[in-house]
Chains A and B, each alone.
Chain A
Amino acid sequence: MRLVLEKRGERSHRMALLSPLIAIALTLITGGIIFALKGLNPFAALYVYFVEPLTTSWSIEQLFIKATPLALIGAGLGVSYLANVWNIGAEGQLTAGAILGSAIPVFFPEMQTLLTLLLMLGLGVIGGMVFAAIPAFLKNRFSANEILTSLMLVYVVQLILDWLVRGPWRDPKGYNFPKTISFSGWQTLPSFEVLPPSMGPLYVNLGAVLAVLVVVALAFMMGRTLKGFELRVQGVAPRAGRFAGFSREKTVWFCFLLSGGLAGLAGICEVMSTVGQLQPGISPGYGFTAIIVAFLGRLNPVGALVAAFALAISYLGGESAQVALGISDKTARVFQGILLFYILACDSLILYRLRITGLGGKVAEGRA
């Protein structure tokens, strides 16, 4: 008996939707086995991990906070990957955005107007774009592989951040801690009450609102505009893209600037809300996790929004597992890795079907 992958005639639309769900199920089963091997009750552990984060209003608020950067970055990366442009360095662009945006409070700590907020957000976007422009330029000018260049630049900008907060940008009154001054007032994101205290309370900050707006805008762009059409063509049939008169170079620029700008926006939103200052380690790897978000969300902006919540749960679950089960919160990263592995594996079911061939029988090889 043999297991054979057989090519389908057309893409299976059913499988395109089912594949992430199968992947999630397989991830849970694998996770359960890992917990069991560690001597924990797998059901209790999975409950702590994936259900508990949804039970209190505080943790739901945290869910929004964690999902915001994931959705912002994941939506941009999804567009980029769909066009066959592989920006793997969102974590670096996030950091670059956070750094550039933070220049305002560092250099003008007294500036406290609406303009402060807008400038910081704007510079955050620009920071991400500028940093993403480097791999885009290298790709177009020298055909340098963007996967490698964008990834390696992450470590460069993280060291720049480290140097800044330990050196020139360090808070003089900060007891030598590696951090800038704490941001306050217009230097932080305003929050909005979405549910009254009787029902929650539930606050979300401006970043979450921006994320939703970005997702809607990108969904519109991909679904209705010529630009979206161009990006989709470039992704699946580059030769046809050239025949349609679409420029590959411009697409590389567009995708890097878009996804880099959104990563920068996510970065500045982080330091303007949760973190509240610039310091080493402003992100628990949102830029990398967003790659999984993009794929889990089928490279679709709205899908990315949904997937962002799924991955946000894994972050929160990791934190509560650390408290309740006494296991490292790094298990969250393990889960994320397993999930990506299964998504990519299950995606082969979209173009292929599994078939078990008969006992010792001849194998049909399909049409060449």
Chain B
Amino acid sequence: MEYLLEALDVTKIFGTLKANDGVTLQVKPGEIHAFLGENGAGKSTLVKMIYGALQPTAGEFRWMGKTVTIASPAAARRLGIGMVFQHFSLFDALSVAENIALAMPGTFDMKKLSGRIARVSKEYGLPLEPTAIVADLSVGERQRIEIVRCLLQEPKLLIMDEPTAVLTPQEADQLFLTLARLAKEGCAVIYISHRLEEVKRLCHNATILRHGKVVANVDPTKETASSLAKLMVGGDIHVVRAARKDGKGDVRLKLDHLKLQADGPFAVELKNVTLDVKAGEVVAIAGVAGNGQSELFDAVSGERALAKDSMLVIDGKPMGHDGVNARRNAGAAFVPEERLGHGAVPGFRLSENVILTRHSSDQKLVKSGMVQKGGAAGVSERVIKEYDVRKGKPDPEARALSGGNLQKFVMGRELDRKPGVLVVNQPTWGVDAGASATIRQAIIDLARQGSAVLVISQDLDEIFEVADRIAVISRGQLSEAFPAGDLSAEKIGLLMAGSHEVREGHHAARA
């Protein structure tokens, strides 16, 4: 038996879309095999078929040399295939052991299971306390639960879908050690990631997909990040150019001891967030997901009002009590993380989505309470042209656009206003490399024209690409903003893990 898993000429068709087109893939035992490709290249479809969640339209799978039909995820687990999804399926209110018990087939002895969890987690360098409640754990720890859950079933193949997207650099290093150890023991790993440096470091083999087809099978250690990127995109990527500024402009956005109560049991409380964003600069807020980023966005955008007017100042004017439209009218613009359902209404046409955020600030769109459809269509066309939004119909519903194109539209809708202050949460989340470069360049260009830009992001590569200064948020506390040149990935990692946090009762100097 040479190969553990083979996919031979597998095709998967959804309606008229060929998500996978004659894909062939071979994974050896003990190999860490990377799947690379832009969003929509067909990676998820392929792994879902391997994990039994989808069935191929044509082609076959072989497991240890024998042809198999993987009818369901349960069947996949019986074969010895485990998968760690990007989005965890854990119950916040239950303990680690209880969550794992829920996924185990048959009956079990809770005490024995806790013992096994402790043993396996220690063996593989994934420290976990079986009695801990999931809600109290960090994202990295939650991911460990998912991994341990797979390991308990002694898999021969482990599929990991963008595992490091939610980890600090230190946590990621720890994960790589675990994966390397698993590989050494003979377990194969299918590793999906956008982070090419990571793939170069960790993986033995890489299969690259584009538009549902395999375009290359390479040894990543012999490639460079840019040659891999070129294979993924099928051409050169526009390099984002950012002439750094000296950071001597006027303060256009000021957060002054901003506090916000948590609005649910698992939400984050913002504590004394203080930050100045000056004209001409891009300030980025780094941090692991779920550390108060969305709360901070809500507070800055005005979706949730603040206790004191002075907590948020736009161009010298205290606006903590004002709502989102008053802040827009003062020259600010906002782009939330979630495009569908927050930044745009999925079932509304693009022209209607223009009205969503501009009905108050743009006199041409609403006249004496009446919506000016012509004006909205004009703005929409301008944005589509300027930011190269690709679409199938003249004025499609927002949900008909791909993630990258909708993000370009949602960004363009705000940039088109030439806002004095722009606040963006996860500007290129789930967006392909080409569109990402366009969006990042637009962010920098806006700042260089004299606007203040605040970017909240979990993607360190993106942060280093666009930011002049970087602050880190962890558990609702924001660090000082350091010039980007003074920060290493290691330093950011320590900040992400909370080294700057002020403990209760202490008012020691921040890191």
How far is it, in angstroms, between the C-alpha of A365 and the C-alpha of B73 when the chains are bound? 13
Alpha-carbon gap, A243 to B346, bound state (A): 14
Question: Interface segment, A138-146, A178-186, A219-227?
Answer: A219-227
* In contact, B14 and A366 (Cβ under 8 angstroms): yes
Is B355 interfacial (CB 8 A cutoff)?
A: yes
A117-139 interface code vs B (CB 8 A; 1 in, 0 out): 00000000000000000000000
Rounded to whole angstroms, the CA-CA distance of A10 and B54 in the bound complex is 22
Is the pair A226, B370 in contact by a Cβ cutoff of 8 Å?
A: yes
Q: Is A114 an interface residue (CB 8 A)?
A: no
Distance from A358 Cβ to chain B, minimum over Cβ atoms (Å): 13
Nearest residue, chain B, Cβ from A244 = B356
Contacts A226-B370, A245-B324; is A233 near B55 (CB within 8 Å)?
no
B356 engages A224 (CB within 8 Å): no
Asked whether A330 is an interface residue with its Cβ less than 8 Å from the other chain, the reply is no
* B347 within 8 Å of A (CB atoms): yes
Contact with A along B12-52 (1 / 0, CB 8 A): 00110001000000000000000000000000010010000
Given contacts A239-B338, A364-B55, contact A226 B359 (CB under 8 A): yes
Q: Enumerate A203-262 residues with CB–CB distance to B below 8 Å.
A: 224-229, 232-233, 236-237, 239-240, 242-245
Closest B residue by C-beta to A228: B371
Contact present for A229 and B14 (CB under 8 Å): no
Q: Is B74 in the interface zone, CB < 8 Å from A?
A: no
CB proximity of B186 to chain A, nearest CB, Å: 30
Bound-complex Cα distance A364 to B356 (A): 37
Across-interface contacts of B501 in A (CB, < 8 A): none
CB < 8 Å neighbour of B346 from A227, A236, A245: A236
Interchain CA distance A227-B325 in the complex, whole Å: 15
Residues of A within 8 A of B348 (CB): 232-233, 236
Determine if A243 and B357 form an interchain contact, defined as CB atoms under 8 angstroms apart.
Answer: yes
Q: Does A367 lie at the interface of the complex (its beta carbon under 8 Å from any beta carbon of B)?
A: yes
A225 engages B371 (CB within 8 Å): yes
Whether the Cβ atoms of A9 and B345 lie closer than 8 Å is no
Pairwise interchain contact B342-A240, C-beta atoms closer than 8 A = yes
| A149 to B14 CA separation, bound complex (whole angstroms) | 45
Q: Which residues of chain A come closer than 8 Å to B45, judged between CB atoms? A: 367
In the assembled complex, A11 has its CB within 8 A of some CB on chain B: yes
Q: Is the CB of B434 closer than 8 A to any CB of chain A?
A: no
A368 at the interface (CB under 8 A from B): yes
The distance in angstroms between the C-alpha atoms of A240 and B347, with both chains bound, is 12
In the complex, whether A362 has a CB less than 8 A from a CB of chain B is yes
Q: Which residues of B contact A367 (CB under 8 A)?
A: 14, 19, 45, 54
Rounded to whole angstroms, the CA-CA distance of A229 and B328 in the bound complex is: 19
Q: Which residues of B contact A362 (CB under 8 A)?
A: 55, 71
- Docked-complex contact A245 and B371, CB < 8 angstroms: no
- What chain B residues lie within 8 Å of A9 (beta carbons)? 15, 400
Contact with B along A73-84 (1 / 0, CB 8 A): 000000000000
Q: Are A10 and B399 closer than 8 Å at their CB atoms?
A: yes
Give the residues in chain B near A226, CB-CB below 8 Å: 355, 359, 366, 369-371
The answer to whether the Cβ of B341 comes within 8 Å of any Cβ in the partner chain is yes
Which residues of chain B have C-beta atoms less than 8 A from A224's C-beta? 370-371
Nearest A residue (CB) for B341:
A237
Q: Chain A, 41-59, contact with B by CB distance < 8 Å: what is the 0/1 string?
A: 0000000000000000000
Q: Is the CB of A245 within 8 A of B360?
A: yes
Whether A243 lies near B71 (C-beta < 8 A) is no
- Judge if B5 is at the interface, Cβ distance under 8 Å: no
- Residues 309-348 of chain B, each 1 if its beta carbon lies under 8 Å from chain A, else 0: 0000000000000011100100000101010011111111
Q: Let me know if A368 and B324 touch, CB within 8 A.
A: no
A244 to B358, CA, bound (A): 8
Nearest to A239 among chain B residues (CB) is B342
Cα A362 to Cα B344 with chains together (Å): 37
Do the beta carbons of B324 and A243 come within 8 Å of each other? yes
Q: Mark A5-18, 1 if CB is under 8 A from B, else 0.
A: 00001110000000
Binding site for A on B (CB under 8 A): 14-15, 19, 45, 48, 53-55, 71, 301-303, 323-325, 328, 334, 336, 338, 341-348, 352, 355-357, 359-360, 366, 369-371, 397, 399-400
Task: Provide 27 A-B residue pairs closer than 8 Å at the C-beta atoms, listed in order of the A residue.
Answer: A11-B347, A224-B370, A225-B370, A226-B369, A226-B371, A227-B369, A229-B352, A232-B348, A233-B345, A236-B345, A236-B347, A236-B348, A239-B338, A240-B356, A242-B303, A243-B342, A244-B324, A244-B325, A244-B357, A244-B359, A245-B302, A245-B328, A245-B360, A365-B53, A365-B54, A367-B14, A368-B48
